[in-house]
Structure 1
Amino acid sequence: MPAPKSLLGRAFALLAVFTAERPSATLSELSRHSGLPLSTTHRLVRELVAWRALARDEEGRFTIGLRLWELGALSPGALGLRERALPYLEDLFEVIRHNVQLAIRDDLEVVYVERISAKDAVNVLTRMGSRMPLHATGVGLVLLAHAPHDVQERALASPLKRFTEHTITTPQALRTALAAVRRDGYAISDRQLEPITHSVAAPVRGPNGEVVAAVSVVVPVETRTDTVLPAVRACGRAISRSLGWRTP
């Protein structure tokens, strides 16, 4: 097929290069498979990376970016982590009957890729596809506690936005909270986003044991967190096993 002439058509031609069989590509491969000149490919790829539609890995190859994941998570046909996790999230919801959430990290933010909520559940600020800072959420604390060291240091050096009087707002308090998450294997965010809720979160691990996501429940502040914690941790382990992780 001839190379598209419109800007939108050229951008989609580049994105269409990526398939399940070819999840990453170099600049020259993108040019060759899309039929676009190398100079045009370079310019468009730079813009797509800035928009987070593409990402560049450590080897200099390009992959689909998280922004497209966010948009794809809004589609009923979204694949991958969300679909693997959904049966276990539904089981957790049947136990909790409030809010159940699945999230991943994008730099210093949490992106929610799934949320199940009862009609009369306690109100939450999040929705599927929304973003929140890492320091103020249960899933964020889990993800940050297991993030690379440079990510943790950048988070500690960044302004920590206050949402309530209980929000973690100092580097020392955040450092202490992250150490507790690594020690205990879970996080409890106590009234950090809203004064009426607790968030209890646990890690989701990939095949190599790396933390790739976090699952949480958000419950009314009067709920005892120890009554929901075992179910949350069991859900995290079940999703992890479905992704290929095996208990050491």
Structure 2
Amino acid sequence: MRGTVTGIGVLDKAMAIVDAVEFQPMTASEVAQKLGVNLSTTHRLAMALVEHGLLARDGENRFHAGPRFDTNRLALAARPILAELRDQTAESAQLWIRRGDVRVCQESADATQELRVTLPVGWVLPLAEGGSAGRILSGESTQQEDDGTDPGWIESISQRTVGLASVSAPVRVGEEIVAAICLVAPLPRVTSTPGEQWGKFVAAAADELAALLSR
């Protein structure tokens, strides 16, 4: 293991794991071998780092740098996409990310109509409160059409707040959901359902952002 940096043992061990996988994904056993640390300790710390977004784990159980390292890049990439979605629909578009048991509004493009839904960047909501973005970030599958196809979105009507409707789509990088794009509107402006009215636009925006992040 590398030399102590701060003298705070657990913190230094955790950051040594982050350093080890920053440029090359590794399994817990590979990290433990490289650092000379007990495997169970390495796995426990690595999983805690995943929960905090400092690490992520792929389908082969390899750890790599997590979404917190991409926060600024994510917000910058999403900004023009959210603005275009807002202009297409005339409703507020938001980017949400998960932080443990809560979700955080990372970027927002507010509607210009007098009656609109606005939340400032940095606003925090518990995942347990639901809403379409919260359900996406909790890992809920997107809704299926009657013909069995997946439209790529989840809708919510007065679920978290009475009088509001939303539709959200996952932003996937590889197999991981790194964010959710959400369109939210006052219920009186929903002419059918939020998904039927705007779902294709939200799903397309999420796919566009995912493609940018995957480059």
TM-score higher than 0.5 = yes
Q: Which amino acid aligns with 1:49?
A: M
After TM superposition, the structure 1 = structure 2 runs for residues 42-191 of structure 1, keeping only pairs within 5 Å, are 42-50=40-48, 52-53=51-52, 54-65=55-66, 69=67, 73=71, 78-80=72-74, 82-96=75-89, 98-103=91-96, 111-112=103-104, 114-118=106-110, 121-122=116-117, 127=122, 130-133=125-128, 136-140=130-134, 144-146=140-142, 178-180=143-145, 185=151, 186-191=153-158
Is the contact between residue 105 and residue 213 of structure 1 (CA under 8 Å) also seen in structure 2? yes
Q: 1:139 to 1:101 in 2, by over 3 A?
A: same
Q: Distance in 1 between matches of 2:163 and 2:134?
A: 19
Q: Distance in 1 between matches of 2:42 and 2:165?
A: 44
The 3-state SS of whatever aligns with 1:92 is helix
- 1:158 alignment partner in structure 2: none
Q: CA deviation at 1:47?
A: 3.1
2:15 corresponding residue in structure 1: 12
How many residues of Structure 1 are paired with residues of Structure 2 in the alignment?
198
Structure 2 unaligned segments of length 5 or more: list them: none
Looking at structure 2, the residues matched to 241 and 32 of structure 1 have their Cα atoms a distance apart, in angstroms, of: 39
- What residue is the counterpart of 2:190 in the other structure? 224
SS of the residue 1:145 aligns to: coil
Identity %: 24
On the 8 A contact 2:31/2:42 being kept in 1, the answer is no
Report the RMSD for the aligned CA atoms in angstroms.
4.3
In structure 2, the CA distance between the partners of 1:126 and 1:132, relative to structure 1 (3 Å rule), is: farther
Normalising by structure 2, we get a TM-score of: 0.64
CA–CA distance in structure 2, aligned partners of residues 183 and 59 of structure 1: 28
> Where in structure 1 are there 5+ consecutive unaligned residues?
147-177
| 8 A Cα contact 2:94 2:182, kept in partner | yes
What is the letter of the counterpart of residue 141 of structure 2? Answer: A
